[in-house]
A and B are shown apart, each in its own frame.
Chain A
Amino acid sequence: MAGPEVKDQYKVSPFLVFYLVHSVQVGVGVMGFQRISTKYAGNDAWISVLAAGLSLNLIIFLIYKIMMKEKGDLISLHHNLFGKWIGGLLSLIAIVYFIAMGITVLRTYIEVVQVWMFPDLNKWIFGTVFLLLVYYCLSGGFRVVAGISFFGVVIPFYLVLTMIFPLFYGHFRDLLPIFNHSLMELYEGVKGASLSYLGFTTLFMYLPFIKEPEKSHRWAQGGHLLTVFIYTTVMITTIAFFSPEQLQKTIWATLTTWKIAEMPFVQRFEYIGIASWALVILPNLCITIWAAGRGIRRLSRVSQQNATIPILVLILISSSLFARRESIDLLNQYTSKVGFYFVYIYVPFVFVFQYIKSKVGRSG
């Protein structure tokens, strides 16, 4: 199976990959990833976050190595490496994974709005309206998705500044002693931090839509590095702001730090922050749902538009089925577990497999 042919007018500039990678990573994870990481790595959790981030730079490098050889997308890669049936099955799993990410993001965001702002918010109505907006963006094609992710990064970027408020209450002694945890504990912390980094595997799907994809490599790395920088900063701030047991009781640590913010014009900053977060969530959903729809379009003869609507309905229904905190937490845990193995085991495996296959193919 050959890679997809994308007309030049549908392609976007390489630098937009910076925003595509960064915006799909920063989502619901960053609202509360601190608790999960510090559970194991304690005050060294920022090292876990940093290590997880830098190791993923390597994974992005591998993804580019694979894709530059393949000159296609994940579907054609699977088809060429594993044949029509096994390859098709793997592609299907990837599509389900992208949809699951969409469900996780939407449901977690609705939960946050329900808990923090409007307890009587109807999740069906909110979900429908939000997904209509997503559909509206998706109907414009990949170029609009890339544009949305640009704005999804630039407009809410001011939120980084709000991390200044907790600094005034920081107890930086809490970061000491550094390296007081075993490698195993740090590794568990890495696993806990991974949900907040996931999503960049959508690179596999949209690389054919990038003009001169090889040039976009450094932009992808850059976008990811920005995420690493933000997460590490947020983590350090959080460790200094909370005492360990207090943090373990805090589900959305980032949002709770906003409770300390004081501004003359607004009593509760969370309301502004969470509302702005809708702009962070939007590209998240757009990219994952676009990737899923694109996958279906490439696997079958269904057009992407026709594939998108059932996906949206599926996301709406299944995300509304999760009603309790525990089930939403479980959903988050499973998505992050699958994502963790996807990037750390599957991607290196595909890289090696592709390498061996090309060697064997040449000699044979």
Chain B
Amino acid sequence: MTRLFIFIVSMLLLTGCVQRSILDDIQMVTIIGYDLPEEENEEGLIKGVAVAPQYQADGRVDNSVFVQTAALSKEIRSQYNSESPKPFVSGKLEVALFSKDIAETEGIMELVDTLQRDPSIGSRVFLGISNSDMETLLRTNYGNVDTGTFIHDTLSHNSKHGMLPQTNLHDFLYNYYSEGNDPFLPLVELDEDKVKITGLALFQGDRMVGSIDAKHLFTFKVLHQKFSSNDSFTVKVNEEEHAAIYNIASKRNLNLKKVGSNKIEIHGKVLGVIKEYSGQKLTPAKLKEIERAMEEDIEKRGMDMIEEFQTQNIDPLGIGNAVRSVTRGDFNKEDWRQKYPDMDISFKMNVTVTESGVIE
């Protein structure tokens, strides 16, 4: 009897101990953008733009935009609350964007810190850098969708199947805190009523120091990671002939055997299928020619890119971490930074065209 009593009492006590959050009564922020304020007197402050979707009964999605300026991003949040009929929650955040100004002058770590500290924010949140005006970018109506999900999906499918390298909050933090990696983030821009990925922003620490144009993303991805993608890569075989390679599977291999004499070799291996060819007939000899043209093209772009990284002394490819993994004893980050620009890094490509479509 007593046991039953205790049991029932426990059941009653176990319910309703904490504050509830009912979906209709909260403001779910799906995207947040940070910008520097325009006014002169607001120096040192941050302008935060948050977008929360409002799902209407007739299936429409309205996006409410909140703009506030404060010194800390959580302070911005309490200011949002003061102008919103419902309390803000951050558990559904999908994308956080930073203006290029912030990334280049102040660094974004202070703002990213609040994202990693908050347990309700997932590690898969996308971070991005934008050159467009943040408020315009987030006020734009992208159709009957919520802005956060729209930009999230754009970034998500491009990094899963496209040319954008894998990137999210966790990857950024991993690279930022790592001894031999430098972070990079996608660059996005407003393109009339769409959001376009225009390349990659490269960081040293948490400060943006350079960028890669969208047309070189494929080369970067080959250099950076193993992947397979549905996007195509266009090869210029000669003046008239072009070929498009798609269904690309790529692997990269680092040869670190000669690190002692400051030599590192990167091998890229690409398998692909020809989808489009502007020439007359695809003979085996022609295939070889296309393969070689693609190899040379990527090798050249890759070498330019690596040299650029070395002059800027940034290491988004994680070569430092690879060197650390073959270094006995303590790996010294500072020593490596000094040595890195003078390393002899070479890049070799190997392209194999496996099929040429359904037509011979």
Contact indicator A268/B91 (Cβ below 8 Å): yes
- Tell me whether A125 and B6 are in contact (CB under 8 A): no
CA distance A116 to B14 in the complex (A): 18
- By beta carbon, the residue of chain B nearest A178 is B325
Contact, CB under 8 Å: A120 / B19: yes
Interface residues of B (CB under 8 A from A): 3, 6-7, 9-10, 13-14, 17-19, 91-92, 119-124, 170-171, 173-179, 181, 321-322, 325-329
Query: Size band of the A side of the interface?
Result: 35 or more
- With a cutoff of 8 Å between Cβ atoms, the chain A residues found around residue B18 in the complex are 118, 120-121
Q: Which of A55-63, A133-141, A195-203, A317-325 contacts B (4 or more CB under 8 A)?
A: A133-141
Chain A contacts for B177, CB-based, 8 A: 242-246, 249
A132 partner residues in chain B, CB cutoff 8 A: 6, 9-10, 13
- Chain B residue at minimum C-beta to C-beta distance from A243: B178
Q: Is the CB of B174 within 8 A of A171?
A: yes
The answer to whether A243 touches B124 (Cβ under 8 A) is no
Among candidates A135, A174, A255, residue contacting B6 with C-beta atoms closer than 8 Å:
A135
**Interface hits, A105-139 → B, CB 8 Å:** 115-118, 120-122, 125-126, 128-129, 132-133, 135-136, 139
Q: Are A268 and B13 in contact (CB under 8 A)?
A: no
A169 within 8 A of B: yes
**Given that A132-B10, A174-B321, A174-B325 are known contacts, is A270 also in contact with B119, CB under 8 Å in the complex?**
yes
Q: Assess the B9–A243 pair: CB atoms within 8 A.
A: no
Interchain nearest-CB distance for B309 vs A (Å): 19
Complexed CA–CA distance, A246 and B179 (Å): 10
From residue A56, how far is it (CB to closest CB) to chain B in Å?
A: 30
Q: How far is the CA of A243 from the CA of B181 in the complex (A)?
A: 10
With an 8 A cutoff between CB atoms, is A260 at the interface? yes
**B contact residues around A267 at 8 Å (CB):** 91-92, 122
Residue of B nearest to A260 (CB): B123
Is A180's CB under 8 angstroms from B119's CB? no
The verdict on A160 contacting chain B, using a C-beta distance below 8 Å, is no
Known pairs A133-B10, A262-B124, A267-B122 / 5 extra A-B pairs, C-beta < 8 Å: A121-B17, A132-B6, A132-B10, A173-B321, A267-B92
**Chain B residues, CB < 8 A from A260:** 122-124, 170
- Is B10 touching A177 in the complex (CB atoms < 8 A)? no
Closest 5 CB pairs of A and B: A243-B178, A246-B177, A176-B325, A245-B177, A118-B18
Residues from chain A with Cβ under 8 Å of B171 in the complex: 169
